[in-house]
Structure 1
Amino acid sequence: MSFEFIDNKLGIDQAARKQIRRHAAMGKNRVVGFLCATRYAPQLSKALDFTGHASSMFVRYIFIDEACFHCAVATSILCLNNLVTKQEGILQAMSHISHTFRLINQRLSSQEAINDTIMAVIVSMAQYERHQNQYQRGFVHVQGLRRMVQLQGGVLQVSKSHHILVQKMLRVDLEYSLQLGSATLFSLEDAIKENKTIIELYGDLKRQNQAGSSKPYRPPFLRSLPSDIQDIFIDVTSLASTLNDATHGASPKLNSSTFHSDLLVLGYRLVDRYTLGGCRPECTIENGIHLGLTAFLVTFLPGLDRRIAHNALLVKLLLDAAQAFSGDGLDIQEILLWMLYIGAASSSQLGTHPMWISKSKETIDTLKLRTWEQVQHVLSKYPWVNAVHDTAGKALWIHSHKS
C-alpha cells in the first residue's frame, strides 16, 4: 500500500475528506487509548465494562502540558523497547525525560502553586522510573505526591475534582510499596475514601453482582487465622468468582473504574497487614495465604507495556514459604497447591524454578490429581481467575509432569 501527502489544494470530494478524517481519528484514538488506559490484564476484556471510563481524562495533560508530554514520550519509548528485540531510542528517551526534569524544576523553584497538572507530571515521572526498575530513585516522586496532596487538603479534597488522578497516585504508591517491601505512603483510609468516591460515580461491584452470587469457599483452617486475613481472603475469593462469572457471561460485566479501585483497596489492606520487607507472620499458613493473595494482586497490575513487573522480594518470600510448608491435611495441601500456582502466574521465574516445579509435583501427587482439569477444580475454590491465570498454571502442570 502506497502513502501519499494530502494537498488540500487538490480537488477532493466531501466523501473522501470524511474518510480521511475518520482514518486520522482512528489513529489518534489508538494512541490516546494506549497512553491513558488503566492497565488491566488484557484477558479481562470480556469481564470489564469500559463504558464511561474516565481514565481518558488523564491524557489531556499530555496535550496541554509540555513536561507531561516529554515524560509520556520517554515512558512510551521504554515500553516499546520491552516489546521488541531490537531496542532503539534510548537516547531520545533520556532527552525527553531531561526536558521533563528541567521544566518541573523550574515550576517548583518559582513557587508556582501546586495544581493537578504538576501532580500529573510527577505521577508520570514515577511511572517512568518504575519502567526503568529504578524504584529507589523514583520513590522521591511518590514522596512528593504525598506531600502535594497533603498541601491540597488531603485525598478526599483532591478526589472531588480529580478522582482519576488520585487513583493513579494510589496505584503508583502501591506498586512502589510492593517492590520496595515498605509501607505505603498513602494510608488504607486514603484508599477507602477514594473508593467511596469512585463507587458514588460508577457504582458498587458488590451490589451490582450480589444477586445470583454464591458464597465464597472458606477452607476449614481459615477460622483459626486473624479476622482481617479471613476477611481479605473471602473478599478476594469473591472478586475472583465474580470475574469468572462475568467472563463467561453468567453475570454482568464489572465497571472497570470500580474494579480498579476495589483492587487498590485490597492491595492497601494486604500491605497494611504485612509489608513484604517487614516482619512476616509466624504461622506458616497465614504467611502463605498473605503471599498468595499478594501474588494474585500483582497479576492484575501490569505496566504500560502490559507486563507484570518482576518482584524479586516477593519471589524470594514465596520460595521460602513453599519450603516451610508442612502438614499432610487435605486443606493444607490444597492451599499450598494454590500458592504454588498463583505464584507461577505472578512470576515467570517461579513457573520455571526447579524447586517450584518439584514442590508442585510433590503436592499434586499427594492430592492424587491426575489431570489438569482436576487441578483446575481445586484452584477454582480459591482466588483464581481462569482467563488470567490458566495459561501459567497449565505451564507449571506440564513442567511438573516432565520432571
Structure 2
Amino acid sequence: MEFQFIDGANIDDSARKQIRSSVMKGRNTGKKRPRREPIRPAKPRVLLPNVAGSNRREQDGHGSSQAQTPVSRILATVGNDLTVVRYPKPLEPQMQRVIRQFMSMASTIIYPKELCLDVQESHSIWFEYFQSDEAFFHCLLAMAQAYTDWAQGGQGESIKVMRYLSETYRCINQKLKLEGTPDDPTVAVVMSMTMHNNLLRAPGGAKVHLNALQRMVELRGGLTSFSGIFLIHKICRTDIEFSLQSGAIPRFYRDKFPYDMVRSSQIWMNASCKAFLTATNAHIYNIDIQSIFRDISCASTYMNSMRGTNQRLEPLMFQEILIAMGYRLMRVCPLDGARNLSPADDACQLALLAMVSTMLLRKGISKLTYPSLAGLFRDSIAKIADDPTADNGFLLWLLFLAGVSIFDVKDDAWLLLRIQNIITSMGLRSLDDTKTVLENYPWITYFHDEPALELWDIATKF
C-alpha cells in the first residue's frame, strides 16, 4: 500500500488557510461557545459619590483648608463638578453648556466665593434630583434657559422656556396624583417655580406657587420635618424674597442665627458695644430692632475682617445669618401692616430689609423692584432728613444703603440731592472718608463697596 503525503513546504498562505479550515470542519459542528462579558460594577446614581466627605475641612491657625479625597482630587484635575454631569436624557451640547453656566452662576450668588468656603454638597443634591426626577429635570432646563435669555437681553419667557415649563407642569400633576405626600424633588420644583416668578417680577404667578409650596410643607409636617438643610434654606430664601417684593407676611419662619460662631470671635465684644452706642446715637430704641441691628453689625464686622485673608465663612452659617435677619425684621413690623414705630426705628428696620435684598439675589443680577419697601423707605428717609435732631451719620447710612439696594440712582434725583447735601454738611471729601462713617453701621464690603463707588461718582457729578 502506497502512502501519499502532503508537502507543506511548497504551498502559499492561501492554500495553508484552506487546509486548516477543512481540517476543523466537523469538529466544531453544533457547538456553541458562550460569550463571556466582563463583570462591571453598577454605576452610582448620584453624580458625585462621596462628595459629602470631600467637604470636610481642617482648621489651622491661619485659616481653613479643604481635605482632599479621591473625588475632590479628580474634580480639581478636570475643573469642577459641573464638567462631569451625566444627563438623564439626551441634550444638545449647547443646552449642556447652558445648564453648567446656570448652576455655576447660582452657586456663586448663593454662596459668594469671596465670603464662603466651597460647598459641593449643594451641587450633588440638585444634580441627584436632576438625574432622577423628570419634573426637576424640565424645571432646571426652564430656569437655565430663562437665565440665558435674560443674559442675552431677552424680555419675558421664550418659546423654549414655555416648552420646558409645560413639561414641568405635566410631570408635577402626574406626581401629585400618585403621591400621598410630596417628596423633596417635588417641593424643590415648586420652590424653584416660585423663585422663577420672583425674578420675572411676576408676583401673581409667584403667589400661586408659594401657596402650593406652603401647602406641601404643611403636608410634610413643617420645615422642621425636612432633613435636607439646603432645601430648607432655598424655601426660606424664596419666601423672604417674595415678601420683600410683595409686602406680604412671610409664610414660614426660621431663626438659627449662628451666635456660637460670631461670639467666639475676638471682635464680638467691641463690635457689640460699638453697635449699641451707634444705635443709641441714631435714636433707635425699639428693643427688637436694637437686637437685630447689633447682630447684623457684628456679623458684618466679622465678614469684613476676613477680607484679604485666607479665612472664609461656613456657607451654611452665611445662609442662617441672612434668613434669621430677614424673618426677624419682618416679624417686628410687616411691610403691609401698620407702621407704629418711631421715625428712627422705622427707618432702621426698612434699611436693614433693603440690606437683606442685596444679599439674596443681587450680586451679578440686575436690581429687582420692591415697590412696597421702596415707598416706605423713601418716606422714612424724608422724615429723618427733615428732623434737625437726627444723627448725620445715620442719615448718610440710610441714603447710601438706599442707593446701593432698591433704588435706581440714575433715575432718583431726590436721593442724589440728599446725598450731595449730607456729604457737604459733613465735610466728606472722598469715598474713603464716607466709608469710615458707613462702617459704623451694618455694611458688608463684598456686597456694598462696589455699588457705593458708583453711587459716589454719580452723586458728586450730579
Q: RCO greater where, 1 or 2, for CA within 8 Å and sep 6 or more?
A: 1
Identify which range, 254-263 or 24-33, moves more after superposition: 24-33
Aligned mate of 1:168, from 234, 239, 264: 234
The structure with more helix, counted as a fraction of residues: 1
Compute the displacement of 1:207 (Å).
4.6
Structure 2: distance between partners of 1:226 and 1:184: 21
RMSD (CA atoms): 3.0
Paired AA for residue 215 in structure 1? A
CA contact (8 A) 1:104 1:118 kept: yes
Counterpart CA distance in 2 for 1:353 and 1:223 is 27
Aligned to 2:392: 333
Name the structure 1 match of 2:308: 248
Question: How many Å apart are 1:157 and its aligned residue?
Answer: 1.9
| Cα drift, residue 234 of structure 1 | 0.7
The 1:152–1:33 alpha-carbon spacing in structure 2 relative to 1, beyond 3 Å, is farther
1:185 to 2:251 alignment:
yes
Is the CA contact (8 Å cut-off) linking 2:262 and 2:268 kept in structure 1? no
Tell me if structure 1 keeps the 8 A contact 2:282–2:394: no
Paired AA for residue 342 in structure 2: C
Point out where structure 2 has 5 or more consecutive residues left out of the alignment: 1-73, 86-96
1:335–1:127 Cα change, 3 Å: same
For residue 273 of structure 1, the aligned residue among 302, 316, 332 is: 332
Q: What is the alpha-carbon distance in structure 2 between the residues aligned to residue 132 and residue 63 of structure 1?
A: 26
* Structure 1 equivalent of residue 378 of structure 2: 319
| 2:216 match | 148
CA 1:355–1:310: 2 relative to 1, 3 Å: same
Question: Cα offset for 1:38?
Answer: 5.7
- In 2, the alpha carbon distance for the partners of 1:180 and 1:294 equals 13
Which of 91, 106, 115 in structure 1 is aligned with 2:174?
Answer: 106
Residue in 1 aligned with 2:402?
343
Whether 2:201 is the aligned partner of 1:133: answer yes
- Provide the residue aligned with 2:455 in structure 1: 396
- The match for 1:214 among 270, 283, 286 is 270
For residues 344 and 404 of structure 2, the distance between their equivalents in structure 1, rounded to whole angstroms, comes to 20
- 140-149 or 89-98, which deviates more: 140-149
* TM-score (normalised: structure 2): 0.72
- Contact 2:409–2:455 under 8 Å retained in 1: no
Q: Distance in 2 between matches of 1:359 and 1:87?
A: 34
Distance 1:324 1:301, change over 3 A: same
1:48 alignment partner, SS class:
coil
TM-score, with structure 1 as normaliser: 0.82
Residues 210, 267 of structure 1: CA spacing in aligned structure 2 closer, same or farther, 3 A cutoff? farther
Letter in 2 for 1:98: S
Q: Percent identical across equivalent pairs?
A: 25
Judge conservation of contact 1:122–1:145 (CA < 8 Å) in 2.
Answer: yes
Contact 1:39 1:306 in 2 (8 A): no
Unaligned stretches of 5+ in structure 1?
1-17
Higher mean alpha-carbon deviation, 207-216 vs 178-187, is at 207-216
Does the 8 A contact of 1:36 with 1:58 survive in 2? Answer: no
Change (3 A) 1:126 1:233: same
Q: Cα–Cα, structure 1 residues 306 and 39, in superposed 2: closer, same or farther, change >3 Å?
A: farther
1:35-184 to structure 2, matched below 5 A, reads 35=103, 41=109, 44-51=112-119, 53-54=121-122, 56-85=124-153, 90-158=158-226, 161-184=227-250
Kept in 2, the 8 Å contact 1:183–1:271? The answer is: yes
Of 288, 294, 298, which aligns to 2:353? 294
What secondary structure is seen at the aligned counterpart in 1 of 2:391? helix
Q: CA separation in 2, counterparts of 1:23 and 1:263?
A: 30
Question: Higher mean Cα deviation, 224-233 or 147-156?
Answer: 147-156
CA contact under 8 A between 1:39 and 1:304: conserved in structure 2? no
Summarize deviations over 1:313-332 as a string: whole Å, max 9, x none: 22222222222223334x62
| Secondary structure at 2:408 match in 1 | helix
